[in-house]
A and B are shown apart, each in its own frame.
Chain A
């Protein structure tokens, strides 16, 4: 594809590189699996195949498949297209980073406060909504989930100091 007019905006990590990277990452997991299986024993014991028997061969198959996948990716032409453009990756990170922080702070802040902040961030940052609507959704949704889960279905969700201060 020779859309060279807007090539400046279309750069990014290559698909080929990404395929090789994913293949290698899987191979590393497979090697970890093989090591773990060897530790518990892959052979035959009095009670039959030992605990590592099945995962060992599974990991071995993953490793072999990865070798094929990495090799076939490496043989692709170097200009096999981009995995995603840099601007697309920036967008992905804009979602991924807040989500990762969200997941990490839940144990300390509880899920309700964290959710309110996540929603507020998205609506204000990407959506450019005015604060009134942001506040309505960001506070309304956690209250709605609180009522549904804690009161209606009696499923407790993680709570932090804020809920404790309110007496829950």
Chain B
């Protein structure tokens, strides 16, 4: 424990180097821009910029990329409140009360509340990471293939159970991701598979291309269809408004704490920031004294989803650094980055790459502080970006997506694949197939398959290996519960009669 504190301070020293601080600021500014623009989110913003970091040291690279993530989390709130357009899916719930507040001329209060609660949520989650991640990692060091597979199993089952999309759509989309990830060289036997003799299929489908296509191009097509025109409230944020709002916020400490806990829980299980923000908003609405005014511009309606979303977004990194299982698509892209930089994600990071892990954790603290200052001071500038017409922004985003896709492998065919993924993303989004599990499956496919086959190899093909010890049985059973959660919940409500209210995952 004490050793961890020492490591953390060492991490701060690494982050405080001028070069890393500069990268941090660059990362946050880029992140906010990426979060504000439609079609560029945290996940594909990082995917596009990942190739630029190949020549950096892994620690500097992760600082910049994770700061893009924090920036994107902050940025989503700006568009929700000022323009009623969620820049990111997790800020949809913020529009419910944020935009009405802006319409009433309280945009400054709403923005301050949103940024501050984001910061609180993130800080809470970082503290959780600092305390819990090393323990989880040291525990996970003992894991053999069956345990590792059971963790993946739990992660993917939670997707099915917690997703608000129909379960079979989640399963189809996830398994398709595993299938795409399996194309190319089989890691264990060295055999080529599913390539059907096409040379361009030899390396399989790269998840970065998939992310840029599914989220980037797909999002542009959706935006175009909606014929988006930005008519926003102007953003003025002076110090007086900020201080007044800060004086008011401590009143909502219970709300914040509850939202933090919901966020952390949902972030660690791979449900992610979006359901966390909705759940937090929903519960706040039910519990708050002013609940019936929610939707008309209540500050609590901004605090609840923002705190939870940011806590979840940050907590999603906990399983990534301690177990190698990312809790969100953005965390998945960061995990892909680790692999590219030659680091093995998972529990070994804490023993073999101390600088890197603690640098990352320290940068979470610093990044959120720097982020809060940047967004509070530069809101008008970021809001101005949205006033650039879409006919200018769209082709520029397309060009950057293409450059990002090309630079992954210096391959022009990848740009074509990106467009194909874009069309797929558009169609899947329109027909309610969730994209996040698909991306996670492409990233983790090889590792999940490896642990699965190694487990079966150890047991000579018997599935009983997944129930061979208390630990692995527990995780697998939790996975099954998560998988059938909607059914269990239904049965439970029926059992208790109609009085039982739906109260998911609490």
Residues of A within 8 A of B (CB): 15, 18-19, 22-23, 26, 29-30, 32-33, 36-37, 39-40, 44, 47-55, 58-59, 61-62, 65-66, 68-69, 72, 83-84, 88-89, 91-92, 94-96, 99-100, 102-104, 106-107, 111, 115, 118-119, 121-123, 125-127, 129, 137, 141, 145, 149, 153-158
Whether A102 lies near B194 (C-beta < 8 A) is no
Given A62-B179, A96-B423, A158-B406, A141:B396 Cβ within 8 A: yes
Q: Are B391 and A103 in contact (CB under 8 A)?
A: no
Count residues of B near A (Cβ-Cβ below 8 Å): 62
Contact call A95/B221, Cβ cutoff below 8 A: yes
Q: Is B469 an interface residue (CB 8 A)?
A: no
Pair A19/B52 contact, Cβ less than 8 Å:
no
With known contacts A29-B176, A50-B189, A111-B402, A95–B182 Cβ distance under 8 A: no
- Listed A/B pairs (14) with beta-carbon separation below 8 Å: A22-B428, A29-B179, A37-B193, A40-B193, A49-B453, A51-B193, A91-B225, A92-B221, A95-B224, A99-B217, A106-B415, A122-B392, A157-B403, A157-B406
Docked-complex contact A55 and B194, CB < 8 angstroms: yes
By beta carbon, the residue of chain B nearest A18 is: B431
Query: Any chain A CB within 8 A of the CB of B254?
Result: no
- B398 near A99: Cβ-Cβ < 8 Å: yes
Instruction: Say whether A111 contacts B406, CB under 8 Å.
Output: yes
| Chain B positions within 8 Å of A141 at CB level | 396, 399
B10 at the interface (CB under 8 A from A): no
Contacting pair A19 B391 (CB below 8 A): no
Output the least CB separation between B81 and chain A (Å): 27
A119 touches B179 (CB 8 A): no
Q: Are B456 and A69 in contact (CB under 8 A)?
A: no
Q: Does B227 lie within 8 Å of A91, measured CB to CB?
A: yes
Q: Which of A26, A33, A65, A102 interacts with B402 by CB under 8 Å?
A: A102
In the complex the two chains form, is A26's CB within 8 Å of B172's CB? yes
Considering the chains assembled together, what is the distance between the CA atoms of A133 and B225 in angstroms? 26
Further 11 A-B residue pairs, CB within 8 A, beyond A68-B168, A99-B217: A54-B182, A54-B449, A55-B194, A88-B226, A96-B423, A103-B402, A107-B412, A111-B402, A118-B395, A119-B392, A155-B51
Q: Which 10 A-B pairs have the closest CB atoms?
A: A127-B391, A36-B194, A65-B172, A126-B391, A51-B186, A122-B395, A48-B457, A55-B182, A68-B168, A51-B191
Binding site for A on B (CB under 8 A): 51-52, 55, 166, 168-169, 171-172, 175-176, 178-179, 182, 186, 188-189, 191-196, 217, 220-221, 224-227, 389-392, 394-396, 398-399, 402-403, 406-407, 410, 412, 415-416, 418-419, 422-423, 426-428, 430-431, 433, 449, 452-453, 456-457, 461
Which A residues lie within 8 Å of B418 (CB)?
Answer: 103
Q: Say whether A52 contacts B193, CB under 8 Å.
A: yes
Contacts of B431 in A (CB 8 A): 15, 18-19, 22, 83
Q: How far, in angstroms, from A141 to B398 measured CA to CA in the complex?
A: 12
Interface contact tally, CB-CB below 8 A = 181
**Alpha-carbon distance between A49 and B172 when the two chains are bound, in angstroms:** 23
Are A72 and B166 neighbours in the complex by a CB distance under 8 Å?
yes
Are B175 and A58 closer than 8 Å at their CB atoms?
yes
Closest CB of chain A to B462's CB: distance in Å?
A: 12
Inter-chain contact A122/B394, CB cutoff 8 Å: yes
What is the chain A residue whose CB lies nearest that of B418? A103
Q: List residues of chain B with CB within 8 A of the CB of A149.
A: 403, 407
Cβ contact within 8 Å between B410 and A92: no
In contact, B395 and A104 (Cβ under 8 angstroms): no
Q: Knowing A19-B431, A92-B224, A104-B416 are in contact, say whether A37-B169 is a contact too (CB < 8 A).
A: no
A127 pairs with B389, CB closer than 8 A:
yes
Nearest CB to that of A124 among chain B residues? B391
Chain A residues with CB under 8 Å of B225's CB are 84, 88-89, 91-92
Residues in A whose Cβ lies below 8 Å from that of B172: 23, 26, 62, 65-66, 69
Task: Establish whether residues A58 and B412, one from each chain, have CB atoms under 8 Å apart when the complex forms.
Answer: no
A121 to B396, CA, bound (A): 12
Could you tell me the distance in whole angstroms from the C-beta of A26 to the nearest C-beta in chain B? Answer: 6
Q: Are B427 and A22 in contact (CB under 8 A)?
A: yes
Q: Is there contact, CB below 8 Å, between A83 and B179?
A: no
Bound together, the chains give a CA A44 to CA B456 distance in angstroms of 10
| Closest beta carbon of chain B to A81's beta carbon, Å | 11
Task: Please tell me if the beta carbons of A123 and B392 are within 8 angstroms of each other in the complex.
Answer: yes
Closest Cβ neighbor of A118 among chain B residues: B395
Q: Which chain A residues border B427 with CB–CB below 8 Å?
A: 18, 22
Which residues of B sit under 8 angstroms from A19, Cβ to Cβ? Answer: 431
Asked if B175 and A65 sit within 8 Å, CB to CB, the answer is yes
Q: Do the beta carbons of A54 and B452 come within 8 Å of each other?
A: yes
Bound together, the chains give a CA A126 to CA B391 distance in angstroms of 6
CA distance A141 to B394 in the complex (A): 13
Cα distance A89–B426 in the bound complex, in angstroms: 11
In the complex, which residue of chain A has the Cβ closest to the Cβ of B196?
A: A36
Interchain CA distance A15-B55 in the complex, whole Å: 47
- When A29-B179, A65-B172 are in contact, do A123 and B227 touch as well, CB less than 8 Å? no
Please, how many angstroms separate the alpha-carbon atoms of A61 and B394 in the complex? Answer: 37
**Residues of chain B within 8 A of A65, CB atoms compared:** 168-169, 171-172, 175
Of B189, B226, B391, B457, the residue contacting A122 (CB under 8 A) is B391
Contacts of B456 in A (CB 8 A): 48-49
CB proximity of B213 to chain A, nearest CB, Å: 10
Closest to A153 in B: B52
Alpha-carbon gap, A68 to B398, bound state (A): 35
**Which residues in B have their C-beta under 8 angstroms from that of A54?**
178, 182, 449, 452-453
Which residue of chain B has its CB nearest to the CB of A119? Answer: B395
Among B166, B224, B399, the one with the most A-chain Cβ atoms within 10 Å of its Cβ is B399
Set of chain A residues within 8 Å of B412, measured between Cβ atoms: 106-107, 158
